[in-house]
A = this chain, B = another copy of it.
């Protein structure tokens, strides 16, 4: 019973919840369900209160267990113990995001980053030699890309890999402290091998960044000579992951240890690559690693759902007295509470549609690779942008959910401490969110430039006039009907209009700055806030566009409406400034958000039931079963 007693806890519409869950689970529903059951059986509570190194060892054991059950090699080729199923891997990874996040990251490092490097950057000899053992965790490894001085910019890393033709070996070397490999998950305690990114030097010629397999520990755990390993120490969260730092002192590895899909060195010391330009080669290589970003975005959505489920369930149970309504009013009845939780719940459904689309596109690109092609570029841009938008959505959702649970949310047992501390790094690793949105903006700008490629100046102006200015001028006098706001065509137009205009005006500003003599990079920096707004507008437009087809029931139509109207409301000043919203329409928009909150409020429990998170993964006492008595200060 709720502490306030009396009121009935609203019921879940089980049929609707099943439908919602089927929508979120998508094509990998069975795999997700099997993963949920496997995770539920792990006994996640065993990690509670463990000293750091014991926790790390437990996480290693879990990773091995989950890996051997099939998740480890899922995206690897069948002939190496895998299932050729990267889409399935991305789905199970997201599902692990509902559980212990140290397990998530450990799996990501071992199977995704280390395994992914061997799989996507290596060739058959590497696959045969290593993939099976990587999938079972018989070969624990790490992914040594980041350096202390070079976080977000891989091209500038400074670890050296010189080819010694005489010996037929590469010599890996760390020239100074800024080239130290830093933040390397799995390195401090467990990895026996590292995929090390370094600048390849063949006969005095720089060939750019390549990846090398470097043994760092012997089977007995002792460190290989010439390798120095340091523990990064305590972190805000993810204490079950052993992040470390690596230094190499002229460490020699055989020629075969170059992951040579995109560049190889023959026995006689001649370098060759299927990708001629060093720039293109670098981006092809990096592009092959995009899966990590897709995975982190998906996991961010999972984390947000855990937090929202806990808060909504508690909001139904917890009664608030004396601050407005009757004596026995659940917190969820308060408009502010609804506004803090329900739009985020709806946005969770929307962003999943984008994540699913991205996964599908990514798999298609893998199946029919066309390096540097439009589809691959689109996948890379969406992976970057969605990772940023999804993980910032997560940060806001977790904070709001925690605050909505008051004192109860501050108790360790109710999980917000772990949810937040473990996930917080998602916004700055696998590419800092700000940097990622800049990448998206650059893609938008080149797409924008491309569409005018074949036009002369007059044709270009005509195009602009019809697409942009026409809309603006036409809309200034437009009359807004209340019903417009719930019209998906109107919603789509609003989001498209903002994206088009932001990209267009960004391009014009840059052109003017450059024409006036500003260095192009400096010009982009001067417009950085503009570029980020354009990137975000693009991701928001695309996500809502993709979700639209899913809004097949009256409930899902309301989900769509609340998500899109909240998104527009948040940035409504922009539409006001650009004549797309009148002052009255903008005020009406806010009323509609309130009305939709009221409409969806009775379905709140059903909507989070649709997230399908087992109690064994939620683990927060305030969100599980009937609580006796307990409540906290709000």
Contact = CB atoms under 8 A, between A and B. Distances in A.
Interface in A164-185: 176-178, 180, 182-183
Nearest to A528: B335
Interface string A393-408: 0010001001100110
A496 interface: no
Interface string A335-348: 11001000000000
A322 interface: yes
Contacts of A371: none
Contacts of A146: 407, 632-633
Nearest to A340: B434
A412 B235 contact: yes
Interface in A422-448: 424-425, 427-429, 432-435, 438
A319 B525 CA distance: 15
A433 B404 CA distance: 10
A47 interface: no
Interface string A37-60: 000000000000100000000000
A183 B628 contact: no
A96 interface: no
A519 to B, nearest CB: 9
A152 interface: yes
Contacts of A413: 233-234
Given A236-B416, A406-B432, A148 B631 contact: yes
A434 B324 contact: no
A177 B403 contact: no
Given A417-B421, A578-B583, A411 B235 contact: yes
Given A321-B156, A336-B532, A3 B148 contact: yes
Contacts of A49: 234
Contacts of A524: 324
A324 B151 contact: no
A262 to B, nearest CB: 20
Interface string A317-355: 001111111110000011110010000000000000000
B148 A629 contact: yes
Contacts of A403: 427-428, 432-433
B409 A428 contact: yes
A488 B322 CA distance: 40
A19 interface: no
Contacts of A99: none
Contact of A424 (B176, B336, B402, B583): B402
Copies held by the complex: 2
Given A336-B529, A528-B335, A633-B152, A407 B183 contact: yes
Contacts of A177: 3, 628-630
Interface stretch (A8-16, A198-206, A454-462, A569-577): A569-577
Contact of A633 (B417, B429, B594): B429
A125 interface: no
A634 interface: yes
A412 B583 contact: no
A33 B587 CA distance: 49
A501 interface: no
Given A177-B629, A402-B424, A634 B336 contact: no
Contacts of A287: none
A153 interface: yes
A29 interface: no
A150 interface: yes
Contact of A631 (B182, B319, B428, B528): B182
A82 interface: no
Contacts of A572: 573
B321 A153 contact: yes
A556 to B, nearest CB: 25
A62 interface: no
Contacts of A429: 407, 633
Given A151-B633, A156-B327, A529-B594, 4 more contacts: A146-B633, A152-B633, A156-B321, A324-B524
11 contacts: A3-B178, A153-B323, A155-B322, A177-B629, A233-B413, A236-B402, A236-B410, A324-B528, A409-B428, A410-B425, A573-B576
